Structure 1
Amino acid sequence: MPDNRGVAYIAPGKVEVRSMDFPTFELQDGPGVHPANVGRKLPHAAIVKCVTTNICGSDQHMVRGRTTAPAGLILGHEITGEVVAVGPGVEFIEVGDLCSVPFNIACGRCRRCKTGDTGVCLSVNPDRPGSAYGYVDMGGWVGGQAEYAVVPYADWNLLKFPDKEQALEKILDLTMLSDIFPTGYHGAVTAGVTSGSTVYVAGAGPVGLAAAHSAQLLGAAVVIVGDLIPERLAQARSFGCETIDVSAGDPKDQIEQILGVPEVDAAIDAVGFEARGHGGDAGHEAPATVLNSIMDVTRAGGKLGIPGLYVTGDPGAVDDAAKEGSLSIRIGLGWAKSHSFTTGQCPVMRYHHGLMQMILNDKAQIARAVNATVIGLDDAPRGYGDFDQGAARKYVIDPHGMVRS
């Protein structure tokens, strides 16, 4: 049996690469594993050799100590892998297949899965609808920032690439299919982006950049990206976006300078609960700022896509209400403007096949848009540190040296 190593959350601000058990067809006890899931049999699973596994901003929330994640939790929900073993219940996935792994784990059998709402599967997390690898309160499925990982319900979850060699050539684009490309696309779709739309994307991290690129693919006339970090704004400009520095003042005023009017057709929150204030309050955390801002800048009858993460437990929040996810949102403003809101995990399987086809046929360049940067597994702690400092990069971990070779 091969060895296995993975990236573990240790304490706020600290991760390290640790030896860990090789995955089996039974969910074992460990940090964060829900007791009701311990011993769960997985005859429907596949074990994958992780070809690429990415660092996500959602991981960073845990590493900053902004969730109730336990020490020792193996991180990572953005996995692309080569199948090395399959359980007796797997019919269509075979050893040797190269596949994208949707970050949200879904059974394919429950009521929600059967209607395409795979982000809120009812069967894989005993605590609540929805699950993910290596994430707090998501059922305790072991994370994939590792050399090997197990994927339950493999026939349902895995997206097999049709040509393995072609896929390896485009792996830096295809690795984004596990999360941020579908998530950004979902944000744009649910915001109603279409041909000729004017769009505001709050946040120029990887999900925000993916949302901006997705808005372009959907035919937006103008995509404006707002952030506090100059390097991230420069990355947004590198593929044709307009940008605003929200530390310089109200986004509404800056949008008017670009468009001639102080509003857009569609807005996307790609920041989430660790939002900072705008203008003179830019240095202070204000978790409702982005939600209130996108209501302010979106026209009457417009839609708001909210792929940014909001949580029900935040021990580091600025006040007691925010510690349990209660924010001072101007819902009256959204109501008065007849806004539509879409929140929650992206149902990756709704989009990933079509986005794969766009990548394979050179219609999408998502790796360039998010500045994909390859690092080794042992470099993961440095990657987390650089990302936390605002690096304008999407770190792609290459555990076996398959990308660089």
Structure 2
Amino acid sequence: MADNRVVVYKGPGEVAVESIDYPKLELPQDVVSGLGIKRAAPHAVILKLVTSNICGSDQHMVRGRTTAPVGQTLGHEITGEIVEIGDDVLFHEVGDICSVPFNIACGRCRMCNEGKTGICLNVNPARAGAAYGYVDMGGWLGGQAEYVMVPFADFNLLKFPDRDQALEKILDLTMLSDIFPTGYHGAYTAGVTTGSTVYVAGAGPVGLAAAYSAQLLGASTVIVGDMNADRLKQAASFGCETADLSSGDALADIIDDILGEPVVDAAVDAVGFEARGHGRDAAEQPATVLNDIMDVARAGASLGIPGLYVTGDPGAVDDAAKQGQIGVRLGLGWAKSHTFVTGQCPVKQYNRQLMNLILADKAHIAEAVNAKTISLDEAPAGYAAFDQGAATKYVIDPHGMVS
């Protein structure tokens, strides 16, 4: 019986909202058969979605730039209310409103015990690490839905301490599932600290979150680079300097004009594998941003790379890039003794502290990323607008719970 609805990938450029069965307290068959574990999941809960956001990572799939099959359910940014609870869930109750890290983690393996929840060993037979509603990430159903199952709930869920306060600040709190921790991770692993000068490549939601996080970490100047005027305007709205890469001017020269020197203390790649060269009509050049940040980061700097890179891109510009091989000037980074930090953000390392900042009215991330609420039925339109470069973070509100 279909008692749930979810956003589904229908082919390049197309998504739809379809009816599916109400979730059960069971693990996906791919995980069960691939890892040889029990299907019953008494450690899980069912959430009624309060909010679920459209992410740039989702857009890579919808553009046909991954190996995602038609029918792939979408959505990994999940905030919800517990409506059903497994017998082995000890520390959560029906009615709790919780943030869900986009990384699915068992809480029991070596990686989880080391705090590396983005590469859990027990949730995806294909590789380390899993996520909701994403290709090659274990077969977990997506959370751009009315209801979703969350496994290992005691470990994965971050409960908001006060329901009324949570609903009042829900547009900020919904960012805890992914982009706020991911942006913070990018800035933090780039070594941003008091007085740092910072370059953030990309003014999409993750780039804006990284720029905002750099300010929280004490940066003196944050420069955001992009070719989208509206997104650059959004970055400027909370105090960032901007680099308009559509001008064709050298990035180092733009930074020199702002700082009086052509280098920064820390740099963040919030773009990923669909990067384009500089100039208004520049073609796709997937290594552009990585080479840029090596070029403008001073010797000895760290480079935070939360932007997504994939092992399979059927729409890539050449055969090498189709396998994730791109022309990175690694010798430059080696010569400058740069530190590279890549991979999924381990959300649980940051989400509680960032929640506390939001609840204490010290962080207003929804304003920084220009959050806008839409209904579940409006999700296809939200995807289309986001793909056209809207300077907006679309927040799906399936049950009309956002005031």
Q: Which residue of 2 aligns with 1:105?
A: 104
Deviation at residue 27 of structure 1 after TM alignment: 3.1
Separation in structure 2 between the aligned mates of residue 20 and residue 380 of structure 1, nearest angstrom: 16
Structure 2 unaligned runs (5+)?
A: none
Q: Offset of 1:111 from its aligned partner?
A: 0.3
Runs of 4+ in 1 over 6 A off after TM superposition: none
Distance 1:39 1:28 in 2: 10
1:342 is matched with 341
Could you say if the C-alpha distance between residues 344 and 35 of structure 1 is closer, same or farther in structure 2, counting changes exceeding 3 Å?
same
Question: CA 1:34 to 1:274, structure 2 compared with 1: closer, same or farther past 3 Å?
Answer: farther
Residue 71 of structure 2 corresponds to 72
Taking structure 1 as reference, are residues 171 and 241 closer, same or farther at Cα in structure 2, changes over 3 Å only? same
1:295 is aligned to 294
Q: How does 1:346-361 map to 2 (within 5 A)?
A: 346-361=345-360
Q: How far apart are residue 283 of structure 1 and its match?
A: 2.5
- Residue 33 of structure 1, CA deviation: 7.5
Report the alpha carbon displacement of residue 87 of structure 1 after superposing the two structures with TM.
0.8
Residues 1:390 and 2:389 aligned together: yes
Match of 1:222 in 2: 221
Query: Match of 2:80, SS?
Result: strand
Q: Could you tell me whether the CA contact under 8 Å between 2:43 and 2:87 is conserved in 1?
A: yes
Deviation at 1:251? 1.1
Q: Check whether the contact 2:31–2:125 (CA below 8 A) recurs between aligned residues.
A: no
Secondary structure at the aligned position of 1:226 is classed as strand
Find the aligned partners of 2:119 and 2:187 in 1 and give their Cα distance.
20
| CA–CA distance in structure 2, aligned partners of residues 39 and 397 of structure 1 | 33
Q: C-alpha displacement at 1:42, in angstroms?
A: 1.2
Cα RMSD of the aligned pairs, angstroms, is 1.4
Q: Secondary structure at the match of 2:3?
A: coil
Taking the aligned partners of 1:199 and 1:22, their CA distance within structure 2 comes to 46
Residue in structure 2 matched with residue 9 of structure 1 by the alignment: 9
Q: Percent identity?
A: 72
Structure 2 equivalent of residue 260 of structure 1: 260
Cα distance in 1, alignment partners of residues 32 and 203 from structure 2: 34
What letter matches 1:215 in structure 2?
A
In the alignment, the residues of structure 1 paired with residue 193 and residue 32 of structure 2 have an alpha-carbon distance, to the nearest angstrom, of 41
Q: Does 1:319 pair with 2:356?
A: no
* Residues 342, 28 of structure 1: alpha-carbon distance in 2 compared, 3 angstrom cutoff: closer
1:3–1:375: structure 2 CA closer, same or farther, 3 Å change rule?
same
Please list, as runs of the form range in 1=range in 2, the aligned pairs for 1:145-294 lying within 5 A after superposition: 145-248=144-247, 249-279=249-279, 282-294=281-293
Per the normalisation by structure 2, the TM-score is: 0.97
- 2:141 and 2:73 mapped to 1: Cα distance? 6
- Are the equivalent residues in 1 in contact too, given 2:182–2:345 (CA < 8 A)? yes
Aligned to 1:367: 366
Give the residue type in structure 1 aligned to 2:100: V
SS at match of 2:391: coil
CA distance in 1 between partners of 2:251 and 2:164 (Å): 45
Tell me, in whole angstroms, the C-alpha distance in 1 between the residues paired with 2:175 and 2:386: 17
For 1:56-71, what aligned pairs fall within 5 Å after superposition?
Answer: 56-71=55-70
Whole-angstrom distance in 2 between the partners of 1:229 and 1:351: 29
Note if contact 2:27-2:151 (Cα within 8 Å) is conserved in structure 1: no
C-alpha displacement of 1:250: 1.6
* Residues in 2 aligned to 1:146 and 1:196: alpha-carbon distance in whole angstroms: 42
CA drift of 1:39 comes to 7.2
Letter in 2 for 1:124: V
- C-alpha distance in structure 2 between counterparts of 1:169 and 1:39, whole Å: 39
| Residue pair 1:34, 1:139 contacting (<8 A) in 2 also | no
- Please identify, of 262-271 and 240-249, the stretch whose mean Cα deviation from structure 2 is larger: 240-249
Q: For the Cα contact (< 8 Å) 2:32–2:39, is it kept in 1? A: no
